[in-house]
Amino acid sequence: MNVSLAIHGGAGTMPRHLMTPEMEKNCHAALKKALDAGVAVLVQGGNAMDAVIAAVTELENHHLFNAGRGSVFNADGKHHMDASLMDGTSKLAGAVAGIEGVKNPVQLAREVMLHSPHVLLTGKGAEDFARERKVLFAGEEYFFTSRRYYQYLLAQKEDKILLDHARYQSPKGTVGAVARDASGGLAAATSTGGMTNKKYGRVGDTPIIGAGTWADNQTCAVSCTGHGEFFMRQVVAHDIHCLMLYKNYSLSEACEQVVNDKLKTTGGEGGLIAVDAKGNISMPFNSEGMYRGFYEKGNLSTGVYREMI
């Protein structure tokens, strides 16, 4: 069965000298758990969309990652979350931004895609729609972690808006998944809590279709992670699709050019995961590392720094 799945838990990692063996072990275990959830869908004949939602839901439920339960605090001491997904077969997409209290933002993005005439809903309106669709909510205590709160206090003290993997941050960030199912269908999903101490309702690339997320069965499915402003300016996810469609680049060629040339030369730090129509996977990044994993041709592997295990 030719199925493939790749996931990420954020580009940019804690420096090696600060990473304890126990911390690294926990990272690999969390990534493997998310991979297992997505792979289980695919090997049972499920579609790519259900697989990426299963994997991202698992990542959102894990307190280590900056999405769902582990989301960072914004300047008001709240958790404002974003998510999106796209189906490569139908070209349908759904996204939410600046939402509070929704336990699994990626599942609300699916409701937007399937049960509204819109692509992107924001804030209170998105939350009202979630209640209509009976999407699960959780109290503030569910999203609270002492580690995130400490990051928030430090950021406020220095009056800075910080990427999740900045100097004294936890090493996890935006999460995502891409998949190819047995029928050749592609899908991508991305979810994030954004930047610590973010202000003014800031929204990054995660819920922007074409910037942080893209899927088209002709070419590829992509989920991005990094400094969102750069990914939006470069329209990164869609750019990879265009290089493949109009210039006949391979998946790896397109990903490498965008991440390690176009993004890097403009100061954009981050990475992405992608899968093409044949099930090939690419996971480039220009930061010290990227929390990631893949399942391809029966092989499952996870990585934090450059090496995979």
H/E element, 179 = strand 175-180
| Beta-carbon count within 10 A of 218 CB | 11
Residue that has been written with the tokens 């041709």 in this structure: 297
CA proximity to 229, closest of 154, 134, 163: 163
d(CA 140, CA 36): 29
Instruction: Give the SS3 label for residue 144.
Output: coil
Return the structure tokens found at 85.
């997904």
d(CA 299, CA 128): 42
| Active centre residues (catalytic) | 174
Q: How far is CA 26 from the centre of its chain?
A: 19
Quickly list DSSP for 200-220. TT---STTSBTTTEEEETTTE
